[in-house]
Structure 1
Amino acid sequence: MCGRVIQARDPTLYTHVVGGEPERPVPNTPPHYNGAPGQDYLIGRRHPKTGERTLDVLRWGLIPSWAKDRKVAWKFINARAESVATTGAFKTAYAKRRCLVPVDGFYEWRTVGKVKQPYAIGMTDGQPFTLAGLWENWKDPDSGEWTRTFTIVTTSANDLVAKLHDRMPVANPGVRRTVPLRPGRLRRADWGQVAEMADPAHSLDGPEHAAARTISPATRCPRATAHKSTCPTS
């Protein structure tokens, strides 16, 4: 599972991470030091008409095109890599609308007695990386308003995250921090085969490239500078 992320740096840095055009204007979004579903995030995707790689604002919690109302978004904040190609809510997006979610890290919790201890997981070098995602368009049947939403693809936890949770997001670190977004071409360098996405050994390239750091429950992350998060991400 992935239910909290960190996306708090200068948005122009994320343009580079997802392979976008540096001269293209970047949407203005607030930093997320403990970002939750239902909020808006910067997402890297290919424009459906031009094919251009862009950094756009989408809401976390996928709403399938056939949904009758937006409440179902809370059911689809994550998509399991093992079944993403065949699950009704995700299979069309998997085939046509993949995306990259640039982050500085993500959170997991471990229960110790009666206390849930949060951990921030990120790259050991402190650099941002991308999570595999899917996006979808949904038209509100009452208002006619279009909403763009996304989900984060998850897999079985690797050795690092397994100490905290049995699931983790499919992450693209190192040379794969930015990867092409080519629907229908399922090479590892493109976005990952279903089998490879489901293999935790490919997420974060193993514990030697990532680290988990405990966060005090009383910690509050400064919001004075959006370009640099002082919350531990590695």
Structure 2
Amino acid sequence: MCGRFTRTKTVKEVARLFELAEPPPELAPRYNIAPTQQAAVVGLKPDGVTRGLIQIRWGLVREERHLKGAPLVNARAETADTRPTFSDLLESRRCLVVADGFVEWRKDHPGKDPHLFGLKSNEPFAFAGLWDVWHPPAGGKPILSFCILTTDPNELLKQLHDRMPVILRPDDFGRWLDPDAGTAEVRSLLHPYPADEMTAVALTTRINSPRNDDVACLEPLHV
């Protein structure tokens, strides 16, 4: 799964990577993005061509019950096309989740041994995301939200966990966002990112609390 991630790069770096027609509004660095918080995603504007960036809720909301209990932050790539909650979104409501790192904890020791994973290139990247908009039946402001697709872990991740988020290569951004590309066409993108192109750093437990969101969250653990 993916339970926390980071977005610390500059607006300029983000705009360049995602080929945004208009620079996004200034984005404060995020060192510890947690479920139910707002996070930056990239999708197509109404013209179906131009890419835009907005911040929406991490934790998919498709009905009122999704606001209660554990948020839907992840969807398994292997079964997303067969589960009613995700199948129509995989077909037509895909987005790019802006990130430059993500945190996993050792599965057999919940809350201990947090590790930060990123790319050796130190570049920002995108998770494969699904989004939706929910209109409360009693009225009120619509809720835009997203979840992150996960897949089997690569050799680096499997030491800690049995899942990892799907990371898309820049050359695949267009196909993932293409409204004419159906589920069958994008399924091939949902695979583990190569371990030899990634890094892992042990962190202190400061990042365990979602109340902490500063650069100290990413300080390496010194043993």
Work out the CA distance in 2 between the residues paired with 1:36 and 1:73.
15
Checking the alignment, whether the CA contact within 8 Å between 1:63 and 1:72 is kept in structure 2 is no
User: Post-superposition shift, 1:207?
Assistant: 1.3
Equivalent in the alignment of 2:187: 194
1:41 aligns with 2:39: yes
Equivalent in the alignment of 2:19: 19
Work out the CA distance in 2 between the residues paired with 1:114 and 1:185.
38
Checking the alignment, whether the CA contact within 8 Å between 1:4 and 1:107 is kept in structure 2 is yes
Work out the CA distance in 1 between the residues paired with 2:33 and 2:202.
17
Q: Structure 1: where are the runs of 5+ without partners?
A: none
Checking the alignment, whether the CA contact within 8 Å between 1:61 and 1:73 is kept in structure 2 is no
The Cα offsets for residues 52-86 of structure 1, whole Å up to 9 and x where unpaired, read as: 2111111101112xx13551584421011001112
Work out the CA distance in 1 between the residues paired with 2:171 and 2:70.
29
The Cα offsets for residues 98-147 of structure 1, whole Å up to 9 and x where unpaired, read as: 00011110000126879711100000121111110011011112233111
Checking the alignment, whether the CA contact within 8 Å between 1:62 and 1:149 is kept in structure 2 is yes
Task: Give the alignment's Cα RMSD to 1 decimal.
Answer: 2.9
Equivalent in the alignment of 1:86: 82
User: Post-superposition shift, 1:217?
Assistant: 2.5
SS in 1 for 2:14: helix
Checking the alignment, whether the CA contact within 8 Å between 1:94 and 1:183 is kept in structure 2 is no
The Cα offsets for residues 12-43 of structure 1, whole Å up to 9 and x where unpaired, read as: 3222222221xx25134432201101111110
User: Post-superposition shift, 1:162?
Assistant: 0.5
Q: Structure 2: where are the runs of 5+ without partners?
A: none
Checking the alignment, whether the CA contact within 8 Å between 1:11 and 1:26 is kept in structure 2 is yes
Q: Which runs of 4 or more aligned residues in structure 1 lie more than 3 Å from their structure 2 counterparts after TM superposition?
A: 27-30, 72-75, 111-115, 175-180, 218-224, 229-232
SS in 2 for 1:193: helix
SS in 2 for 1:79: strand
Report 1:143-222 matches (<5 A).
Answer: 143-173=139-169, 175-176=170-171, 178-180=173-175, 181-185=177-181, 193-197=186-190, 199-200=191-192, 203=193, 206-218=194-206, 222=214
Closer, same or farther in 2 for the Cα pair 1:121/1:33, shift >3 Å? Answer: same
Percent identity of equivalent pairs = 32
One-letter identity of the residue aligned with 1:32 = R
Closer, same or farther in 2 for the Cα pair 1:97/1:111, shift >3 Å? Answer: closer
User: Post-superposition shift, 1:184?
Assistant: 4.1
Equivalent in the alignment of 2:60: 62
1:6 aligns with 2:3: no
TM-score normalized by structure 1? 0.80
